[in-house]
Structure formats: structure tokens, C-alpha cells
Amino acid sequence: NAGVTQTPKFQVLKTGQSMTLQCAQDMNHEYMSWYRQDPGMGLRLIHYSVGAGITDQGEVPNGYNVSRSTTEDFPLRLLSAAPSQTSVYFCASSSPRAARTEAFFGQGTRLTVV
Amino acid sequence: KQEVTQIPAALSVPEGENLVLNCSFTDSAIYNLQWFRQDPGKGLTSLLLIQSSQREQTSGRLNASLDKSSGRSTLYIAASQPGDSATYLCAVRGSQGNLIFGKGTKLSVKP
């Protein structure tokens, strides 16, 4: 039972580089989201998706893109990495009836931008 | 805009003590509230989920209560153990389905 899988676990980028953080879930959840966690700031929502082909912005979307071509996958793209994007990134998913069910989180991707 | 506050930010107790962690939220129009545990360098582990229509949920030594009208939830940990040391996060789910998190309470249980 894999749950929510994030790759990579660690990444170091140079300023200006681009990369994609991968997130996959095997629970047939329609709702998926990306958060970033920073010291003193807590977890903040970046982007979310309520189903394949549907995405929307969260609280801190600037500098990030998402797409949702399948139910299982929800990648997060950094277009041009900046030191301010140094953070720990978490992907989460929950069932189609998102209001009633618990959210499951991946183990996180620790990103450092130098 | 929904805001979630957790008090205290940090707590240190001796082993065996019963303790209460507090969570408050500004908008009572929530679908549910979820308590998580996070160990250093790790992901979030779900502890308890309380629906908006429920008053409390229990799992082992953990009991979470919800008073939606006053915008409060508490997580009660009985007979604390050193293995309970972690950061505890409270999150509320609103109408859009998104979770809004508090900043957490860092718990240290001393042997």
C-alpha cells in the first residue's frame, strides 16, 4: 500500500534552473494538492486539483506550475528556481468526497536553491 | 480568511503526564478538522479526523474534541511517553476542500 509517493526526497538546484517534483497516489483520490513548509510559516497551499484536467491556485502559487493529466499524478514544476523557493514540499491527496475524508501526505521533498 | 492558531508553540512535560494541545480557528464554517503528527525531517501522519457534526474522536491514548461554534479543538494525550515527542499540527478543511494549517505545537516528553 504505497499511498502518496513523492520523488525526489532531496534536491539541490542552482538559481535559474527548472525542475519537476513528482507526486503519485494509488488510492484513486481525485483531490490532490501541494504545500510548502517553512520555519515559522507553517504549511501553505501552493496549487490544488479536484480532478484530472482541473487545477487551481492556492495561497502561494507564484513561481510554480502544475498540471493534472491523470488521476494518479500531480507534478509540481519550478520554472526558474529562486533561493526563496528553498523549502520542504509536501503533496497530499484525499478521496472524491474531499469534505468528509482524511488527507494523506507524502514524505516530502527537501529542496535547496543556491 | 480562515486562520488557525495553535497554543502553545512548544511544550515540555515529564513522562507520564496528561496534556492538552489547543487549536483555534476563526471561521466556524468547516467540514472537518484533522490532527497530524510530524517527526523531525518526516512527513505528516494523520492522528484523528473529526467531522463538523462530531464532538470528539478517540484513538488509543489520544482524544480530540471539537467545538465548532466557538472555533476550538483540543488534542488530549494521556500518560505521555518519550515516543510522543513530535510536532502536532491542526488543520481545518473548508468549503473548497483545502486544508488550512496551524503552525504546530512542538512537544517534548522527558524520560
pLDDT tens per residue across span A62-108: 999 999 999 999 999 999 999 999 999 999 998 866 556 788 999 99
Band of the pLDDT at A40, cuts 50, 70, 90?
confident
Mean of pLDDT values over A17-37: 95
User: Rounded to the nearest 5 degrees, what angle is found at the Cα of B2, between the Cα atoms of B48 and A62?
Assistant: 105
Whole-number percent of chain A with pLDDT over 90: 82
Question: What single letter denotes the amino acid at residue A55?
Answer: T
Q: Is the dihedral of CA A24, A102, A94, A27 positive or negative?
A: positive
pLDDT at residue A41, as a whole number:
87
| Residues whose CB falls within 8 Å of the CB of residue B1, separated by 6 or more in sequence, listed in order | B26, B27
For residues A91 and A93, give the distance between their C-alpha atoms in angstroms, rounded to a whole number: 7
Chain A closest CA to B71's CA: distance in Å? 18
> Smallest Cα–Cα separation from B45: which of A45, A29, A102?
A102
**Which of B54, B96, B105, B106 is the best mutation test for A, with the most CBs of A within 10 A?**
B96
Q: Give the CA distances from residue A59 to residues A17, A46, A55, B17, B68, in Å, rounded to whole numbers and listed in that order.
A: 23, 6, 13, 38, 24
Tens digit of pLDDT at every position of chain B (111 positions): 899 999 999 999 999 999 999 999 999 999 899 999 999 989 999 999 999 999 999 999 999 999 999 999 999 999 999 999 999 999 999 777 789 999 999 999 999
pLDDT at residue A104, as a whole number:
92
For residue B93, the chain A residues in CB contact (below 8 A) are 98-99, 103
Tell me the helix, strand and coil percentages in chain A, rounded to 5.
5, 50, 45
Name every residue in A having a CB less than 8 A away from some CB of B.
Answer: 31, 33, 35, 40-45, 48, 50, 58, 90, 92, 94, 98-108, 110
For residues A74 and A33, give the distance between their C-alpha atoms in angstroms, rounded to a whole number: 8
Q: Is A2 helix (H, G, I), strand (E, B) or coil?
A: coil
Mean of pLDDT values over A9-16: 97
Average pLDDT value over all residues in chain A: 93
